[in-house]
Amino acid sequence: MDRRDRETLDASYRELVGFYFQVKELVAASETEDSEQRLSLSAISELRAAIDHVMRAHNVLYGLVQENDIATQTGLPAVEYCGKNYDKARGHLYRAGYDAYDIIIISLVQEIRRMLRCLSLSALYAVIPDAAESVMAPLEEGRSLAVQAKMKKDIESTSQERQQFLACEQAAKRLYDVKHLLDQKGKALIDFEKAHRKERLKERVINLLLGAIVGAGITAAATLLL
């Protein structure tokens, strides 16, 4: 390899290192976010595989394996061999990211649903008039994306991998925004729900009293007729 080849590989490695730590933080966040404290073994396995491919490239770059030996064993020039291993490492990092986002998104969806179970639709839409767009749509998007991510983990295109990663990132961000919005509006939602329940209870009592009065009137009328 000449100097230009090494500079190209060095730039690729620097980008890869930054992405590795980004994904590693995601995996840690997924463990924190998950209330059941499930450990994403598949994500950790993907991180391990990514490091393995980086070490294969470094075996050549640092002269621990001769370039001629690599060419004989793989049929690839050393620079191409190292580049392919960096690409494979990047693919494993994307898949680790999908696994981490999968746990984060599912955990957020479950938590938001638990919060919504305590509320009536009337309370939700009274306090958050645009709840269809700001709450329900991101919730459904997150649920759908989690299903799709499981089905698309084996995509080969780097651009597709990045596109899916960014889609997961955006979905998680929107779900965090939903959770924050519900937390922020929590007091108003509870106050509305309490007032609404009192109103419903009042209406129920009035209806029961009216029913009793009407029933008593019918009974009295029937007695007079007899």
In the chain, domain spans: 3-184, 194-226
Contact of 43 with 30, CB cutoff 8 Å: yes
Q: Per-residue pLDDT for 29 more than 70?
A: yes
Record the pTM.
0.76
- 164 pLDDT tier (thresholds 50, 70, 90): confident
Q: For position 223, what pLDDT does the model report?
A: 52
Q: Per-residue pLDDT for 56 more than 90?
A: yes
Rg for the chain (alpha carbons), in Å? 30
Q: Per-residue pLDDT for 218 more than 80?
A: no
pLDDT digits 0-9 by tens, 89-122? 999 999 899 888 888 888 898 899 998 888 888 8
- What's the DSSP call for residue 152? -
* φ and ψ of 185, to 5 deg: -95, 10
Q: For position 222, what pLDDT does the model report?
A: 47
Alpha helices in 41-151 (DSSP H): 41-61, 67-74, 78-117, 121-127, 131, 137-151
